[in-house]
Amino acid sequence: MKPLMPRPSLHWLLLLTAGSILAAAPETLPFPADYREWVFLSSGLGMTYGPLASAPSKPSFDNVFVKPAAYREFLASGKWPEGTMFVLEVRGSSSEGSINKAGSFQSQALVGVEAEVKSGGQWNFYGFGTEQKPGKLFARDASCYACHSTNGAVDNTFVQFYPTLLPIAKAKGTYNSAK
Amino acid sequence: MKPLMPRPSLHWLLLLTAGSILAAAPETLPFPADYREWVFLSSGLGMTYGPLASAPSKPSFDNVFVKPAAYREFLASGKWPEGTMFVLEVRGSSSEGSINKAGSFQSQALVGVEAEVKSGGQWNFYGFGTEQKPGKLFARDASCYACHSTNGAVDNTFVQFYPTLLPIAKAKGTYNSAK
């Protein structure tokens, strides 16, 4: 007769043990008021995989910033140190304005701000919405965790989309070209 | 009988006098190797008025950076101080790569780098091309001078396209809404 609950395998026991060692992530994160003075990594328009991906008819810009100390460590080692923090800022786009007649420029319309923080050896994700208030931790089953873990070319981060960091990671041997 | 050469008007004499008072701009400018650590102002895609404007079929991204000290002065006063320096970095775009299937992200293909510097009370423009070598001063009749002077919403700069600085300039009374 089969047990109602399957016995935990060694694999699961190891995972549970590892999970209990990791510090619990703080439920909130102060709003990083100076993030626009951090190091800019890249900007995309209408990218399709983001958490706030926009409809093709009205694409948004994604601006990515990282804390300066983490950036400098990455230049030196190709790795993200403890305390690394990214901000993803999503903004609306405009096409016609002033002397510009086509293409797209960034508008004042803020769509949302999110953060990714490396803390206690794990990566945590927070959402701020459009207000400069403390951000809320995304639940572990939110898509950001699995997507970054599965598809980030360097340690849960999308270095494949950061043109100045991609060659650094390749030179330092931390780049996963299969992503 | 009309003279072959028109007599200089008072207007021209004043302009010539003003020109001789302004310090001559240096013919070259060292490459600002750390500009990617400066403050990012905005990014556009396929904008139509830039010096390296791209064909609509293959649009480029324009990334604009400014020196941190000038940025902080602008936050305080809405004005650009002596020594302000902007860098315009133009990069190619890609649409499909890694998990991204549409929209545009910035590629490693550098199209060109240019700078605008406020020095001796005037703005000077330099081109670096794609190499990290000293930039060359653009001649006074290059289109950048007249375009920035005529169309820049704040002191020869396109603050109308910088979403976080636009409201600062309006609040400080330095924004020209007619641009």
* Of the candidates A87, A162, A33, A71, the residue with the CA atom closest to the CA atom of residue B34: A71
Residue among B56, B99, B153 minimizing CB distance to A49: B99
The pLDDT, as a whole number, for residue A36 is 98
Q: What is the pLDDT of residues B96-153, one digit of tens each?
A: 888 888 899 999 999 999 999 999 989 999 999 999 999 999 999 999 999 999 999 9
Higher pLDDT among residues B4 and A134, named by residue: A134
Q: Which residues of B touch A (CB under 8 A)?
A: 36-37, 39-40, 42-49, 56, 59, 61, 63, 65, 68, 71, 91, 97-108, 147, 151, 153, 158, 160-161, 163-164, 166-167, 179
Residue in chain A lying closest to B158 (CA): A98
Tell how strand B39-45 and strand A60-66 pair up.
unpaired
Task: Decide if B168 contacts B72 (C-beta within 8 A).
Answer: no
Residues counted in chain A: 179
DSSP state of A36: G
Q: Given B61, B63, B104, which is nearest A46 (Cβ)?
A: B104
Beta partners for B97? B100
* CB of B105 closer than 8 Å to CB of B97: yes
pLDDT of residue B169: 98
Name, in order, each residue with C-beta under 8 angstroms of B133's C-beta and a sequence gap of 6 or more: B31
Secondary structure element (H or E) that encloses residue A64, with its range: strand A60-66
Could you give the maximum distance between any two Cα atoms of chain A, in Å? 77
d(CA A1, nearest CA chain B) in Å: 45
Among B21, B42, B41, B33, CA closest to B122: B21
Task: Identify the residue among A52, A60, A100 best suited for mutation to test binding to B, counting B beta carbons within 10 A and taking the highest.
Answer: A100
Q: Average pLDDT, stretch A112-131?
A: 96
User: Radius of gyration (Cα) for chain B, nearest Å?
Assistant: 19
ipTM: 0.86
Residue type, A5: M
pLDDT digits (tens, 9 = 90+) for B19-76: 445 568 999 999 999 999 999 999 999 997 777 766 667 899 999 999 999 999 999 9
| pTM exceeding the 0.95 threshold for the entire prediction | no
- Cβ–Cβ below 8 Å for B44 and A161: no
**Nearest Cβ partner for A37 among B39, B47, B107:** B39
Residues from chain B that touch A68, judged by Cβ atoms under 8 A, are 37
